[in-house]
Amino acid sequence: MKIISSLLLGTLLTLAGCQSLNSSATLYDELGGMPVIEKITDNFINEISFDQQIAAHFRETKIDRFREKLIEQLCNVSDGPCKYTGDSMLDVHQKMNITEGEFNRTVDLLINAMNQAGVAHRTQNKLIARLAPMRPDIIYH
């Protein structure tokens, strides 16, 4: 009985230690770091390219720069080691007149991109929650 109690106590202490390690992980870590952020970005660009309505907003976009800045932004907003050096969301979306429906469709494309990258739904929700405050700077400008 003492052996079982000791094993159980040891297991609980180990699990408690793992829990405290996980709770200090950043969203960047949960996402899988830079390799997964790059994969999400590439998947997202691909998703956009197949959606005629959303792709129309990207006709004038330099895709290489968009990719670079989106990677920076996702890395930064998830507490990764990056600094976002791009333009503000308000400046980028001026005169685009993005509707709420188009915004929501773009979020769906991002979710598809994260699904393809194997990001857990809970982690997806955390990232979307971090990006959500940008919404007012994107739609109807």
Please check whether residue 99 is in contact with residue 140, taking contact to mean a CB–CB distance below 8 angstroms: yes
Domain tally, the chain:
1
Banded model confidence at residue 11, pLDDT cuts 50, 70, 90 = very low
Quick one: average pLDDT of 88-101? 94
pLDDT digits (tens, 9 = 90+) for 26-44: 999 999 999 999 999 999 9
Whole-number pLDDT of residue 22: 53
CATH number at residue 125: 1.10.490.10
Tell me, yes or no, whether 30 lies in a domain: yes
Banded model confidence at residue 140, pLDDT cuts 50, 70, 90 = confident
Whole-number pLDDT of residue 5: 41
- What would you report as the CA-atom Rg of the chain, rounded to the nearest whole angstrom? 20
Quick one: average pLDDT of 114-136? 98
DSSP 43-111: HHHHHHHT-HHHHGGGTT--HHHHHHHHHHHHHHHTT-S----S--HHHHHTT--B-HHHHHHHHHHHH
Tell me, yes or no, whether 124 lies in a domain: yes
DSSP tag of 134: G
Whole-number pLDDT of residue 23: 62
Tell me, yes or no, whether 17 lies in a domain: no
Please check whether residue 44 is in contact with residue 70, taking contact to mean a CB–CB distance below 8 angstroms: yes
Q: What is the pTM of this model?
A: 0.82
Worst-scoring range by mean pLDDT, 13-17, 80-84, 127-131? 13-17
Please name the amino acid found at residue 39: K
Tell me, yes or no, whether 13 lies in a domain: no
Tell me, yes or no, whether 11 lies in a domain: no
pLDDT at position 59 over 50? yes
Residue ranges making up the domain that contains 30: 26-138
Tell me, yes or no, whether 61 lies in a domain: yes
Tell me, yes or no, whether 38 lies in a domain: yes
